[in-house]
Amino acid sequence: MLEIRRRPTAAAGRIATGAAVLLALPGLAGAGDRSAPTTPTNVRVTAMTPYSATLAWDASKDRSGVARYVICCADTNSMNAPGNVTSFVYTAGLHPGYSFTLHVWAVDGAGNYSKPSNGVTFTPPRDTVPPAKPLVSVTGVGTRHVSLLWSATDEDPRLRYCLSMDERPLYCTTPETSTVLTLLSPETTYTFTVKALDSGGNWSPLSDPVTATTSPVNSADVTPPTTPSLGGGGFGDCEAELYWSESTDDLDPQWLIEYQVFINGVYDHSTSQRHLRTIVYGTRNGANTFGVVAVDTAGNRSDMAEVTFDLVCP
């Protein structure tokens, strides 16, 4: 094979010299660093709460400096600590009363990992203190919707909540701290409360109730939403799935449109934008006709979208 060698030029020499200078600059020298930091040692727990463990260790050494420490793992969770510390409060994935084992790795600026430290095993104490009473506020009201926001304070960073409307539970137990409730009745007063639940099984006191009154119907709104496109199919035992496209309206946003579902001409239930599909049951063996009507907050109704298919019913 013919090999062509080119004689170095002055420009090439300048490039080589420049590259050497770049490698010598602080922060860039690590690009060619393949030496891992020394292993962190003497990892130990110095304090605990039900949801945290304070770790300490003897520092690693590296010629270019330790950029960070990686602490792993609790329920597949890990955390990063700055490279200039030897103590850190670890909180990711811990649960009271469960045993965990953590290791520490040192990482330099070039991405080289040390070997893992000794493992430290610990069990956070059980949580016996309930969350504080939640605070609930109304953030928006319309003809057929109410927007809510809530929160509670607790050591547990993963609180779950139970939202009730007129003493009827709606969402239990959800990590969400806000919601928009749709398909409500116009000019109606609703009462809302929230309880918080921590990972130790402790329930908070019930929040103070808040009320919201929905607005009157907009009598100037006379235009119905567009008709959705409807499809579906059967599964057996009279069960069927329906799915449809989202309607639009001249005044209401799409998330406020109600979808009324009919089975063989009889109203079955309503749903909203969150669920543009539903599971229903036919009322007879053989052909069943399903329909969906879009309804805006003024009560204007689209034409009914319909689909017919056979079902096998017991």
Q: What is the mean pLDDT of residues 193-221?
A: 97
**pLDDT tens sequence across 156-168:** 999 999 999 999 9
pLDDT cut 70: percent of the chain above it: 90
The reply to whether omega before 139 is within 30° of 0 (cis) is no
For position 186, what pLDDT does the model report?
97
- What domains are defined for the chain? 35-122 (2.60.40.10), 135-213 (2.60.40.10), 230-311 (2.60.40.10)
Please tell me the predicted confidence (pLDDT) of residue 5.
32
pLDDT reported for residue 33 = 79
What integer pLDDT is reported at residue 136 of this predicted model?
Answer: 98
Structure tokens at 90: 């670890």
The CB density around residue 313, as the number of other CB atoms within 10 Å, is 16
Report pLDDT for 75: 83
N- to C-terminal Cα distance for the chain?
Answer: 80
* Whether the predicted pLDDT of 4 surpasses 80: no
Taking residues 56-82, report their average pLDDT: 95
Q: Binning pLDDT at 50, 70 and 90, where does residue 31 land?
A: low
pLDDT of 86-137, one tens digit each?
Answer: 999 999 999 999 999 999 999 999 999 999 999 999 999 999 999 999 999 9
Looking at the predicted structure, is the pLDDT value of residue 207 above 60? yes
Contacts of 221 (CB under 8 A, 6+ apart): 250, 251, 252, 296, 297, 298, 300
Question: Which of 20-24, 200-204, 241-245 is the least confident region?
Answer: 20-24
pLDDT per residue as tens digits for the range 45-55: 999 999 999 99
With tokens 């109600």, the residue in question is 258
Name the more confident of 82 and 235. 82
Res. 273 pLDDT band, cuts 50 70 90: confident
Q: Residue 309: is its pLDDT beyond 90?
A: yes
Across the chain, mean pLDDT equals 90
Which pLDDT score, from 0 to 100, does residue 58 have?
A: 98
Q: Is the peptide bond before 73 cis (omega within 30 degrees of 0)?
A: yes
Does pLDDT of 9 surpass 90?
A: no
